Structure formats: C-alpha cells, structure tokens
C-alpha cells in the first residue's frame, strides 16, 4: 500500500499543461487529410494540444530517405530555376498554419530543410534510422537570407505580429550528424535566422538546436554564449528557448540484442545532466526549456509490431502510463532543481489512421478509423486536471506509485498511477490511501472515478478481446470509439472527518485512476 497526503490549501505551482504539444514529420501533408482534420478537431475539443511542430517547411521535393514521400509532404515555399531566378509561394505553409490557428493552436516553425538548388553537393543525409534531410554547403547566403526575410514578411502579413509573438521559431532539426564545415555552417545559419526573425520584432521567440546529444547541446551553448556572431561580429546570439530530444530507445536497435525496455528514468537522467550542463552558462538562466521531441521509442513509420512484437507498448496502456509518470517526474525536477520544462512535445500524429491495418505499433495517437490509442486517452485525462497543482506528500516521483493533484473552481482532481516499466504481471491490483487535508470541516464530496487500465477506456485491449481484427469493419470501429470516450466508471459520495477526507483506492499495475471531486452544496429550503 502507498500513502499520500494532499494539502488542498497549498498551491505548489500553476498547471501550465506543458505537455500539450505534438509534432510529426509530415504535418504539411496530414493536416489537410481527413485523418489529420479529425485529430486536430478532437484535440481542439478536448484541449489536449496547443503547439504543433513539423519538419520540411522549406523543402520542395522528396523528403524521405527512400524517396517515396514526395513533395506533397513539404512546405514548397521556393523554386530556384536553372537560370537562378526564384519564385516564392507560401500558400501551402499559410494554409497549414491557418488550420492550427483557427483551432486556437500554435505552430513551432522550423526553418528547414534546404530547397532544391540551394546547396553545393546537396544530398539527403540519413541518420541511423533512415531520417533524411537535404543538406550541403549553401551556394548563395544572400538567397538564403532573402528566403528568410520573405518568409517572415509573409507570416506577418497573414497572421500579424500579435499572433506571431505566441509562436516559436527554430532553424533546422537534429544537427547532431553534422560535422566540420556543415556544423560551422549550422552556427552561421542559426545566427542569420535569429537575427532575421528578431529584426521583425524583438519579442519573437527564437531557439534551438533541437538536438539529441548533450555534447551537441554544449557546443551550441558555447556558440550562442561565447562564440562570434556571424551576422553582427559581436559575442553571442539571441536565444529564448533551448530544445532537446529524448526517446526511451532508438528504433534502430530493435533488431539487435540485448533487449532494452524504455524507462522514464532515462528521461529524468538526461534532463538532470542538461540541468547540470546549463549551470556553466549563467547568462542563460531564465531561457525556456523545451523537450520538443519525445517518445517511448523513436522510428515511427518503418518498424511495426508485426515485425517487432515489443512495440506493443506503443499500442497499449504502457505509453499512456509512461506519459503521466514522465509529467510527474518533470514536475518534481522543477521543484527540486529549479529546472522547469516549459514545453514537452510528443512526436506522433495520425499516420496509422490512414492505413487499413490496425494497431501497427507506430508512435501515432490514432489508429485505423481515427480510433484513439490509449496514449491519447492519457492526454485527455491529464487535460482534466485543474488550473493549480496542490502539494502532495508520498512516494518520490519515478517509482511505481505516483499521484498528481490539482484543483480548480469546480473542485479537486487526483490522478493516481501504478506503473513500473518492467512489470510482467500488469493485472495485479495495489492499494492507495489518499488523505485530503484542509477541507471545509464536515463537507461532503461527490466523486467520479475514471480508469485507464487493461479493462477500462483501453481501445487496444478491447480490440484484442474482439479478436484483433486487422482490417476492422464499422461495427468494430464504433465499439472502439465508445471505449475511448472518457466516462465515469464509478460514482460515490464521502464526507470529511473534521477537515480531512480519507480515500482508499485500488489501482491496477499499468493503470491509472482519475478522481474528480466536487463539494456537495446543501441548499436550505
């Protein structure tokens, strides 16, 4: 049994909902497809997403290592003709960003990758997972700067300064595989990018380097703090946020031994090393910290559970519990080390939703027929937490048992989770004892329980009970959609003892329970 004490009178921090962000390689394509529209509409309705990030803003041809993706995944903002004349067309990017803005969402704008004709020896340089970016040595820096200026003018004309001040701007994605001249070019690209964006308004937020290796982060920090600015000749470059990527493991390792189980502790460790690294750069104190790609496993579109059964954890309740435990750990790191995660962006969207084969084990939020996977249900449960986090005493975050506690004008919300990543008996129940303190003496409370575990609100496990139909019909889709809707699994009433309210709760391993408490108001007649 685990015991928690919740002091309802002490606000620990504002609930910034820093996890409300997703991204995907090909949002310039999927945003305009029915599956992408469904996901955006659902996220807007449920309040689960505020920021979206995509690659390939500047590409105008193939954007994949195998050449199959095609130009329709790109922003296609510029065409460089054989005679060096250029034609700009920002209509597709504008159309995509309008889909976000009209739903109250914000883009994280990547200035990448190179359009055809921009570089000498241009090639699609692929990393060890097959992700490719058109890279090379820029032929004409004046043309690169003109592209950035024309792009910013376009954004201001179409969206206005006030809107752009709520966005984030980056240049490139994962420069980790660059070296030598290319890495030095990246620093120049960053300086030109940051100078250009800031020249339109100093309040526009620029940052990077969107890397996944801490030594690359250190080299970037050295440049923006101590390096010579390629534009101004002065020391340092403007930076409003620092962005970093963490995955539980690389998808490239799936075929090799030994087997690795993704664990939240890897994320906590990497974040604490990052926190320690930043101590050496006191001038950057106060910059925003963005974990702007994360997932239990990288490599989303080429390796599936049909070939690698361990990828079931991207289908099942595992990813939902991983999400909630990670949020709890990042909150604890903020409290203990004054290292605050401003944004936490999951890399996955709706690729599988457009395919006839269900639950492929990809990192998407939805599967065939737009059915939400448990990880999306986890987001929707997190979103129901109130505006303020309140103080919790109990087991340290990162262990098997955890509790998030919040309150709003409508009541108190508790999200209890039972999750150890390496469990082999996830059906076992364990008891939580939660005591709420500093309530109104003698008050009565109505409580709704909402569970996510192997038996409740779990589309993957329900799909298995239906026989795991690979190509589901409408009846199966409708049944799974009903399972995905967050409805109360139990309702009851408790009365406080003095100013305290004890709650006993059983929670399945690899399960979580959201308790929504509302005080019962007695009306005098």
Residue 269 token pair: 């460790």
pLDDT digits 0-9 by tens, 53-109: 999 999 987 544 444 445 578 999 999 998 889 999 999 999 999 999 999 999 999
182, 135 Cβ separation under 8 angstroms = yes
Per-residue confidence (pLDDT) for residue 157, from 0 to 100: 98
Q: What percent of the chain has pLDDT over 70?
A: 95
pLDDT digits 0-9 by tens, 161-191: 999 999 999 999 999 988 788 889 999 999 9
Report the relative pairing of strands 366-367 and 371-372 from DSSP bridges.
Answer: antiparallel
Q: DSSP string of 411-478?
A: EEEEEEEE--TT-S-TT-EEEEEEEEESPPTT-EEEEEEEEESSSSS-HHHHHHHTT--SS--HHHHH
Per-residue confidence (pLDDT) for residue 502, from 0 to 100: 97
Per-residue confidence (pLDDT) for residue 123, from 0 to 100: 58
Task: Reply yes or no on whether the pLDDT at 361 is more than 50.
Answer: yes
Q: What Cα–Cα distance (Å) separates residue 407 from each residue in 390, 415, 520?
A: 7, 11, 16
Task: Reply yes or no on whether the pLDDT at 327 is more than 90.
Answer: yes
Per-residue confidence (pLDDT) for residue 524, from 0 to 100: 52
Report the relative pairing of strands 341-347 and 288-295 from DSSP bridges.
Answer: parallel
Q: Which of residues 215 and 426 earns the better pLDDT score?
A: 215
CA 60 – CA 75 distance, rounded (Å):
7
| Domain annotation for the chain: domains and CATH numbers | 4-8+388-519 (2.60.40.1500), 15-382 (3.20.20.80)
Mean pLDDT rounded to a whole number for the chain: 93
Task: Reply yes or no on whether the pLDDT at 525 is more than 50.
Answer: no
Q: Other CB atoms closer than 10 Å to residue 331's CB: what's the count? A: 22
- Indicate the pLDDT class of residue 251, thresholds 50, 70 and 90: confident
Per-residue confidence (pLDDT) for residue 132, from 0 to 100: 64
Q: What Cα–Cα distance (Å) separates residue 394 from each residue in 3, 265, 343, 405, 441?
A: 6, 18, 26, 12, 23
Mean pLDDT for 1-11 is: 96
Per-residue confidence (pLDDT) for residue 424, from 0 to 100: 80
pLDDT digits 0-9 by tens, 14-65: 999 999 999 999 999 999 999 999 999 999 999 999 999 999 999 987 544 4
Residue 329 token pair: 């750990």
Per-residue confidence (pLDDT) for residue 69, from 0 to 100: 46
Q: What percent of the chain has pLDDT over 90?
A: 84
Task: Reply yes or no on whether the pLDDT at 279 is more than 60.
Answer: yes
- Contacts of residue 6, Cβ cutoff 8 Å, sequence gap at least 6: 390, 391, 392, 393, 403, 405, 412, 414, 434, 435, 436, 437
Per-residue confidence (pLDDT) for residue 65, from 0 to 100: 41
CA 427 – CA 441 distance, rounded (Å):
37
pLDDT digits 0-9 by tens, 437-491: 999 999 999 999 999 999 999 999 999 999 999 899 999 999 999 999 999 999 9
- Provide long-range contacts, Cβ within 8 A and 24+ apart, for 361-364: 361/303, 361/304, 361/305, 361/306, 361/308, 361/311, 361/312, 361/314, 361/315, 362/300, 362/301, 362/304, 362/314, 363/295, 363/296, 363/297, 363/298, 363/300, 363/314, 364/300
The phi, psi pair for 524, rounded to 5°, reads -80, 135
Report the relative pairing of strands 511-519 and 132-138 from DSSP bridges.
Answer: unpaired
Task: Of 134-138, 295-299, 506-510, give the lowest mean pLDDT range.
Answer: 134-138
Task: Reply yes or no on whether the pLDDT at 521 is more than 90.
Answer: no
Tell me the pTM: 0.96
Per-residue confidence (pLDDT) for residue 66, from 0 to 100: 43
Instruction: Please report which helix (H) or strand (E) contains residue 403, including its range.
Output: strand 401-408
Per-residue confidence (pLDDT) for residue 131, from 0 to 100: 67
Angle at CA 305, nearest 5°, toward 304 and 307? 75
């Amino acid at each position: 049994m685990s015991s928690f004490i919740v002091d309802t009178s002490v606000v620990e921090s504002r609930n910034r909902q820093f996890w409300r962000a997703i991204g995907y390689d090909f949002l310039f394509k999927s945003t305009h497809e029915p599956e992408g529209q469904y996901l955006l509409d659902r996220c807007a309705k449920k309040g689960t997403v505020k920021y979206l990030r995509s690659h390939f803003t500047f590409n105008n041809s193939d954007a994949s290592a195998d050449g199959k993706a095609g130009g329709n995944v790109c922003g296609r903002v510029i065409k460089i003709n054989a005679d060096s004349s250029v034609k700009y067309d920002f209509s597709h990017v504008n159309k995509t960003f309008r889909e976000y803005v009209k739903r109250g969402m914000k883009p994280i704008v990547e200035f990448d990758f190179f359009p055809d004709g921009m570089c000498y020896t241009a090639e699609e340089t692929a990393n060890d997972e097959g992700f490719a970016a058109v890279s090379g040595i820029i032929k004409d820096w004046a043309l690169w700067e003109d592209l950035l200026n024309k792009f910013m003018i376009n954004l201001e004309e179409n969206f206005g300064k006030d809107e752009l001040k709520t966005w984030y701007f980056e240049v490139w994605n994962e420069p980790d595989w660059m070296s030598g001249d290319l890495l030095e070019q990246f620093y120049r690209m960053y300086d030109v990018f940051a100078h250009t964006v800031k020249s339109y308004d100093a309040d526009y937020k620029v940052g990077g380097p969107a890397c996944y290796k801490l030594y690359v982060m250190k080299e970037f920090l050295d440049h923006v703090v101590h390096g010579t600015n390629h534009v101004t000749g002065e020391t340092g470059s403007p930076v409003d946020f620092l962005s970093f990527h963490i995955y539980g493991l690389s998808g490239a390792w799936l075929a090799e031994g030994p087997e690795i189980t993704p664990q939240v502790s890897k994320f906590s460790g990497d974040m604490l090393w990052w926190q320690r690294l930043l101590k050496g750069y006191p001038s950057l104190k106060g910059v925003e910290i963005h974990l702007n790609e994360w997932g239990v496993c990288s490599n989303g579109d080429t390796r599936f559970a049909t070939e690698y059964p361990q990828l079931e954890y991207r289908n099942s309740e595992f990813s939902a519990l991983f999400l909630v435990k990670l949020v709890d750990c990042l909150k604890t790191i903020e409290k203990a080390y004054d290292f605050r995660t401003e944004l936490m962006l999951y890399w996955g969207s709706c690729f599988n939703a457009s395919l006839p084969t269900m639950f492929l084990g990809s990192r998407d939020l939805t599967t065939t027929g737009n059915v939400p996977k448990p990880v999306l249900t986890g987001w929707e449960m997190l979103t129901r937490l109130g505006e303020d986090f309140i103080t919790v005493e109990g087991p340290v975050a990162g262990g098997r048992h955890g509790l998030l506690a919040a309150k709003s004008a409508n009541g108190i919300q508790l999200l209890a989770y039972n999750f150890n990543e390496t469990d082999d008996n996830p059906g076992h129940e364990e008891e939580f004892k939660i005591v709420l303190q500093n309530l109104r003496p003698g008050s009565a409370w109505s409580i709704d329980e909402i569970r996510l575990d192997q038996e409740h609100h779990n589309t993957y496990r329900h799909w298995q009970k239906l026989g795991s139909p690979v190509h589901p019909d409408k009846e199966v889709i409708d049944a799974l959609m009903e399972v995905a809707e967050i409805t109360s699994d139990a309702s009851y009433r408790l009365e406080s003892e003095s100013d305290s309210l004890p709650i006993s709760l059983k929670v399945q391993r690899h399960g979580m329970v959201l308790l929504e408490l509302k005080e019962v108001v007695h009306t005098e007649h």
